[in-house]
Structure 1
Amino acid sequence: MANLKQIAAELSLSVTTVSRALKDGPEVHPLTIARVKEVAARVGYVPDHHGRALRTGRTLTLTAVLPMETIEHLSDLAKLPLIEGMTLAARQAGYSLSIYSTTPDDDPVASVEQLLLARSADGLIITRMVSGDPRVKLLLDRGIPFVAFGRTDLDIAYPYVDIDNEQIAYDAARRLLDKGCRRVALQLLVPKDQASAMRLSGYGKAMAEAGIPVDQSLIGHGTFTMESSADWFDRLLGSSDPPTGLACANELGLLGALHVLGKRGLVPGSDVHIVSRDSTRLARFLPARIDVHSVDMTGVGRMLVEVLERRITNPVGPVEKILFKGQFDPGE
């Protein structure tokens, strides 16, 4: 594999000049930079990231900790736009992106501790925030650059990028109530997840404004794969007082609900009204009348990396707190 010494020898330059030229150093003449890059491309030069890490203490790698929802087929479908956004932003900033997947049984704090011991990344993106999330204090105490995808209720400043789940759930419930639904079911994901807590808060606010008490039997907690959504919604529809409206947690929850409606001969948008989160644009191609809230998850992924890169560059800079709103699209 070609190295800096070989490029320097071919061009009769010093290794220092070649190194600076490859970094577009302002002290190197533009023509020299062009010559160095042309030779580097021709001989297939690839920077030695391991050697650079030993010399500088930096890996030029960012790690995103992404828990697997379940081991079910397609369970992580909604993460794809997020990963795409993070990957593109990391590459643009000169970093590699590493995805560290954990299982539902893994301890979140132990997973972060393991990453810190490995010293394999310059900064971390943590997800699936819970109440009083101990990872925030751990990373702040260690002085590790990080950004959270989501919020926790700690009284401490930390950088995050989040989605306004409370407003989305409030809006979904309000729209279902405005359609005449008085039995509105709500899908939540992991109960201890702060995103679920925010969704429940928004839903509860909309129901209170309508003067309708929250019926806990209409609140579903789960991973909401297609199968689990179908099983849960089928039980609700088979009850003595079934729901007439449903706020789905995600696209997979939506597909499970639609499957049950079809099996029971019920029509979405007529017999049962549905509002769903849809970050993959999947719902727009379904032959059913569904209202959707969409979030630019690719944009969320980009923003997570951009905030993290700024924390790495300036650890004492402003603590950024960014909230993405959902966009509502009425069903056709």
Structure 2
Amino acid sequence: MTAKARPNLRRLADELGLSVTTVSRALKDGPEVHPDTISRVKVAAEAAGYVPNLHGRALRTGSTRNLTAILPMETRDYLSDIIKLPLMEGMTMAARQLGYTLTIFSTTPEESPQESLDQVLRSGAADGVVITRMLAEDPRIPYLLERGVPFIAFGRSNLDRDYAYVDIDNERIAHEATSLLIERGRARIALQLLIREDQYSAMRFEGYRKAIEDHALIVDPALIGQEDFTMEASERWIERLLDSADPPTGLVCANELGLLGALSALRKRGLAPGQDFSIATRDNTRIARYLSTPLVTHSVDMVSVGRALIEGLVRQIEYPDAPLAQEVFAGEMSIIGDEG
């Protein structure tokens, strides 16, 4: 086979003196092909750099063996999507183990989730999709259900529809984090939220609200921040709160970037975390344990979340009559350093 020729089944078959059918079956470990032939075909295919033509297979069988996960960027900050790395790792490994490829369709924060979904569906390059950044009344759910497209959602909505999802118990996490800070004597606790319309923020606020009211305190809207909490935005917001007439004494962070910005703001004001001010933060990346700072942390194994998303989607594709995957990860709370 010449170096410039793109390897395909026909060229591979001609090189080996076999039929195209035999080569195709050998690459799929067909039981009707002798093991020695299978081995010879696979060695030659690997040496030639042969890659199956997914578009051709899709035309023949209607299946691409490809999955697409639509993952919008959280913010435009250069570290904003570090949280997605373990999620993508889990999805990628699960897809590979199940015999699928995974495409990550990344979009900017400003792009419409519906338009992004339409673009993926028009391409016809996926057997199923993972959707994220769920809304309370997310229109993508009935849209996909009506079209019979296999999908799984990373998150839940308020719609009374039966669909596959994997979620994190954000309400419980926010409730536990806020309660822990209150029990450490922090009566005024600020809350960082991200996208105003999504369910992630709504559930976090609900958990926070319940914890405040459970301890006979009152929710102060002035302590609720909702924006793209990059490190810089978090730092500016916390500085404004600390300079107010009635500053907070604790904070429940939106993410690790919010934490880093908050720590910078405290340092500028000469406040010591754990003594003058308490922070609870999401720590799925395990960054907090390396900061030598007293913190309350909550973490979720995002690799397992990614695996669950792909496993649930593939089960729906391959066994359409099986029960839909519906799983919620609780997360784990930890105390780092002397937060007493």
Both proteins in one fold, TM over 0.5: yes
Q: CA deviation at 1:101?
A: 2.1
Moved more, 171-180 or 22-31: 22-31
Secondary structure of 2:37's match? helix
Change (3 A) 1:11 1:111: closer
* Cα distance in 1 between the residues matched to 2:277 and 2:266: 8
2:312 and 2:324 in contact (8 A); partners too: no
Q: Secondary structure at the match of 1:288?
A: coil
- The answer to which of 12-21 and 60-69 deviates more is 12-21
- Is residue 2:329 matched to residue 1:324? yes
* Greater shift in the superposed pair: 303-312 or 263-272: 303-312
Q: Give the aligned partner of residue 261 of structure 1.
A: 266
Q: Which amino acid aligns with 1:58?
A: S
Are 2:74 and 1:81 aligned?
no
Residue 144 of structure 1 and its aligned partner are, at CA, apart by 0.6
Label 1:289 to 1:121 Cα distance change in 2 as closer, same or farther (>3 A). Answer: same
Letter in 1 for 2:169: D
What letter matches 1:106 in structure 2? E
Greater Cα shift, 203-212 or 27-36: 27-36
Give matches, 1:224-239, under 5 Å. 224-239=229-244
Asked if 1:29 corresponds to 2:37, the answer is no
Deviations 1:52-76, CA, capped at 9 Å, x for gaps: 1222222222111111222222222
Aligned partners of 2:321 and 2:247: how far apart in 1? 54
1:112 to 99, 117, 120: 117
The one-character-per-residue Cα deviations of 1:22-76 (angstroms, maximum 9, x if unpaired) are: 1122333333322322232233322122221222222222111111222222222
Q: Which amino acid aligns with 2:297?
A: V
Are residue 91 (structure 1) and residue 96 (structure 2) matched? yes
Alpha-carbon distance between aligned partners in 2 of 1:133 and 1:180, rounded to the nearest angstrom: 39
Question: Which of these residues, 3, 8, 13, is aligned with residue 3 of structure 1?
Answer: 8
Query: How far is 1:299 from its partner?
Result: 1.6
Alignment correspondent of 1:167: 172
Q: Compared with structure 1, are the counterparts of its residues 56 and 78 closer, same or farther at alpha carbon in structure 2 (3 Å cutoff)?
A: same
Deviates more, 1:244-253 or 1:1-10: 1-10
What is residue 274 of structure 1 aligned with on the other side? 279
Match of 2:251 in 1: 246
- Residues 273-305 of structure 1 deviation map (CA, whole Å, 9 limit, x = unaligned): 111001111111112111211111122112211
Q: TM-score, normalised by structure 2?
A: 0.93
- The farther-off stretch of 8-17 and 69-78 is 8-17
2:35 maps to 1:59:
no
**1:44 match:** 49
Deviates more, 1:51-60 or 1:263-272: 51-60
Aligned residues: percent identity? 58
- Pick which of 72-81 and 304-313 moved more: 72-81
Deviation at 1:236, TM superposition (A): 1.0
Q: Is there any run of 5+ residues in structure 2 with no aligned partner, and where?
A: 1-5
Aligned residues, how many?
332
What is the rounded CA distance, in whole Å, between the counterparts of 2:14 and 2:77 in structure 1? 55
Which residue identity lines up with residue 28 of structure 1 in the other structure?
V
In structure 1, the partner of 2:294 is 289
Question: 1: CA distance between counterparts of 2:101 and 2:319?
Answer: 19
> What is the one-letter code of the residue matched to 1:159?
A
Corresponding letter in the other structure for 1:121: A
Task: Name the residue aligned to 1:197.
Answer: 202
CA drift at 1:12: 4.4
Mapped partners of 1:49, 1:319: distance in 2: 27
TM-score by length of 1: 0.95
Amino acid aligned to 2:322? G
Structure 1 counterpart of 2:157, from 143, 148, 152: 152
Equivalents in 1 of 2:58, 2:272: separation in Å? 59
| Distance across 1 between alignment mates of 2:336 and 2:52 | 51
Which of the residues 283, 301, 304 maps onto 2:306?
301
* Correspondence list, 1:180-191, <5 A: 180-191=185-196
SS of 2:336's equivalent? Answer: coil
The answer as to 2:220 corresponding to 1:220 is no
Question: Could you give the per-residue CA deviations for residues 212-252 of structure 1, whole angstroms, max 9, x where no partner exists?
Answer: 11111111111211111111111111111111111111100
Contact (CA 8 Å) 2:12, 2:23: kept in 1 or not?
A: yes
Deviations 1:136-183 (A, max 9, x none): 000011111111000000001000011110111011011101111111
1:285-330 Cα shifts (integer Å, max 9, x gaps): 1121112111111221122111111111122321110111111221
Alpha-carbon RMSD across the aligned residues, in angstroms, is 1.6
SS of equivalent residue, structure 1 residue 284 = helix
